[in-house]
């Protein structure tokens, strides 16, 4: 599985509109074969930073970055961004989320 985390820092005047701007991209990506999840969060420390956590089957990531909705998002997102997004992308040897071993809720 390819596990990806991307941090997007928005311009202040786009912060409240960011999730609406990326909604079509989000919905299309979630519908892709091989997409495991595609989840947005907002930083608790910086109100202008959004964190995207996504995962794909190993063979699905290339189709994602060559898709029409990805290419369109790469054209529409920059207007709202204060800087180039930062990314961590790794292939991991698992198929999804595991339970946390250090904390068990019964």
**Range(s) of the domain holding residue 20:** 2-91
Structural contact between residues 10 and 85, judged by C-beta atoms closer than 8 angstroms: no
Structure-derived torsion over alpha carbons of residues 72, 56, 32, 14, reported in degrees to the nearest 10: -40
Provide the number of structural domains found in the chain: 1
pLDDT digits (tens, 9 = 90+) for 72-86: 999 999 999 999 999
Is the predicted pLDDT of residue 59 greater than 90, yes or no? no
Could you tell me the two tokens for 102? 């250090």
Answer whether residue 100 is part of any domain: no
Residue 97 lies in a domain: no
Q: Mean pLDDT score of the chain, rounded to an integer?
A: 95
Tell which residue, 83, 66, 77, has the closest CA to residue 29: 66
Give mean pLDDT, residues 31-44. Answer: 96
* 3-state SS track over 2-25: EEEEEEEEECHHHHHHHHHHCHHH
103 is a domain residue: no
CATH number at residue 41: 3.30.70.100
For residue 96, is it within any domain?
Answer: no
């Amino acid at each position: 599985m390819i596990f990806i985390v991307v941090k997007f820092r928005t311009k202040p005047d786009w912060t409240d509109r960011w999730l609406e701007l990326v909604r079509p991209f989000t919905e299309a990506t979630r519908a892709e074969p091989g997409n495991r999840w595609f989840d947005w969060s907002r930083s608790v420390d910086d109100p202008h930073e959004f964190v995207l956590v996504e995962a794909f089957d190993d063979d699905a990531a290339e189709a994602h970055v060559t898709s029409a909705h990805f290419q369109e998002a790469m054209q529409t997102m920059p207007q709202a961004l204060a800087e180039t997004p930062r990314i961590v992308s790794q292939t991991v040897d698992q198929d999804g989320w595991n339970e946390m071993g250090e904390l068990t809720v019964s």
